[in-house]
Amino acid sequence: MKAFVGRIFLAALVAGAPGVASAQDVSVIIVSTKGKGGPNLTPQVKKLIEKPLKASVKLVPFASYKKAAKRAGIKPKDMFRTDSAATIGKEAGVTHILIVEGQMEQTKEGKKKKKAFYADVSLVESGTGDVVFTSRYALKGKKLSPQIASTLVSEVSQSIAKPAVAEAPPPPAEEVPAEAPPAPDAPPAPDVPPEPTDATLAAAPTETPPETPPETPVEPPADSVAALTPPSIEDTSLGVSESFAPSKPKRWRPALHFALGGMALQRKAEMTAADGDPPGYEGPVPGGSVRMSFFPLAIGGNGG
């Protein structure tokens, strides 16, 4: 009966709360796990928590959670952490992740050790990564009773249906009118001389025109310094009639000499022997000469 009442209460909160998304907009994945020595609460979670929530919100199977964790690159040992749950929930496309974890705590009472079992519950919002609800519920033995499950469902439902309260903007600062600048002081009135009366005019001294001083003859201005300076004597002994342009150095270059000449040979001989005949020569013998000389390195003209 209490579980049924909790289911009705959850539906009323989600469907009728002002400013809250409809039930179709809320999707939840329930993750059941256990810590070291903690109880396995999966059977009780499916029976006492999933069924009441399924009537008011959209529940997504846990298999989708494992696939989303694999796509996000999160290891299985880190799947049940609240910070990892936000990333996985966003990857799975759900709005909330509800983690129910069975825990065991051991205490000493004298010489005896006593074990206590709890259910730690955390509700993580996938979009922001905020833990919007967290609580611990004491168990009777290792099982989740219907009474505790009903309380858990009610509190989780309130956290899902609670509208986000936007911070009110700060009040605008009061506008203080700026003080008007002080008016400038009025300029002093100009001094107006009093109108002269007959007595004032009679007592006023008669102005005498000033005497003109005699004109002083103006002396001609002294010659300028340039005029008083004796003329300089131009020295023409150092005059240069042409510019001394540096001549270009001569350089070595090849040379070819060509000569052409001519000559005429006239021979005459006399015989001293008594019985000898004088030799006879034919007229002058002409001759010519051609000479060509080549010099690989010769001093030529100015280097260019």
Residues 65, 156: Cα–Cα separation, whole Å: 20
Q: What is the pTM of this model?
A: 0.47
- Contact call for residues 100 and 45 (beta carbons, < 8 A): yes
Segment-wise mean pLDDT, segments of 10 residues, the chain, 304 residues: 38 38 74 91 92 88 93 91 91 93 88 90 91 92 90 88 55 59 65 62 57 62 49 48 56 77 72 68 74 76 50
Q: Give the SS3 label for residue 27.
A: strand
Amino acid identity, residue 89? G
Domains by residue range for the chain, with CATH: 2-161 (3.40.50.10610)
Q: Report pLDDT for 123.
A: 94
Q: Give the SS3 label for residue 161.
A: helix
| CA angle (137 as vertex; 135, 139 as ends), nearest 5 | 160
Taking Cα atoms as reference points, which of 67, 58, 72, 68 lies closest to residue 30? 58
Residues 162, 127: Cα–Cα separation, whole Å: 15
Q: Report pLDDT for 98.
A: 93
Residues 13, 96: Cα–Cα separation, whole Å: 16
Q: Report pLDDT for 43.
A: 92
- Contact call for residues 60 and 96 (beta carbons, < 8 A): no
Taking Cα atoms as reference points, which of 20, 32, 37 lies closest to residue 59? 32
Strands (E) in the chain, as ranges, are 27-34, 58-59, 96-109, 112-125, 131-138, 250-265, 285-302
Residues 153, 51: Cα–Cα separation, whole Å: 10
Residues 86, 130: Cα–Cα separation, whole Å: 8
CA dihedral of 10, 13, 14, 19, whole degrees rounded to 10: -170
Centroid of chain to Cα 186: 57
